[in-house]
Structures are given as structure tokens and as C-alpha cells.
Amino acid sequence: MGWQKTGVALDTLAPGTTREVLLGATPVLLVRTAHGLFAIEAVCPHLGGLLADGPLSDQRLTCPEHAAVFDVRDGHVLSDPFGVEPPQGAVDALRSFPTRVEAGWVEVDLSPR
């Protein structure tokens, strides 16, 4: 699919916030932290929790449904709903997507890797 325009201006996404966007049929969560701009799958693979509703602490995003914790920089699982750290645990990592800002607007690359 390549680079997709999100319709989100970088200035409207403050550090420490998230915004869910639908790019084609793919729900994507934009996450801005003090360390950068990231894009990950917007739905938790464990039981379908909407990650936009979860608390964000630095680069750690917690699923609001069952408390799985993900690293927004790359989608890796930091702990599963039972607090088990990888490589054990029952939650898959989130897909992450490259981001860029063009003329002040956020774009996401949905190309398969």
C-alpha cells in the first residue's frame, strides 16, 4: 500500500497522546511521545481491546481490556495480561508502521515487511 496520508496534522497530536485513524481497512494508532512519532495496530491481538482507550506512559501503552503492555516504538509485548514478560506469555506483538511528516501532516507506510 505504501505511504498513506492520515489527515492528522502533527501540531494537533501533542506529546503523550494517541489518535486512531482508519487507513483503508487498517485501523492504526498514532502515538506521539517525547521520543518521537510512532504508528502501531490499533486493536489489541489478545481480545480486541481498543488501544486508543488505554493509558500511555512514556513509550508503554496498556490495553484497557486486560492490561497487556506494549512498547509503542515497535509493538513488542512488555508484559501480558497476567504480568508475564516475553518470551513466555500469550499475547502477540503489535504490527508497527514507519511514520513520516510531510508539510506538517503525518503519513504512515502500510507496505508489507
pLDDT tens column, 54-108: 999 999 999 999 889 999 999 999 988 877 777 777 788 999 999 999 999 999 9
In the numeric block, the cell 513520516 is attached to 100
Q: What's 89's domain CATH number? A: 2.102.10.10
Range of the domain at 98: 3-108
Does residue 90 fall inside a structural domain? yes
Residue 89 C-alpha cell reads as 506469555
Say how many domains are in the chain: 1
Does residue 20 fall inside a structural domain? yes
Does residue 71 fall inside a structural domain? yes
For the beta carbon of residue 105, count every other beta carbon within 10 angstroms: 14
The CA distance from 35 to 99, in Å, is 13
In the numeric block, the cell 501533542 is attached to 14
Question: What's the whole-model pTM score?
Answer: 0.93
Does residue 45 fall inside a structural domain? yes
Does residue 113 fall inside a structural domain? no
Does residue 98 fall inside a structural domain? yes
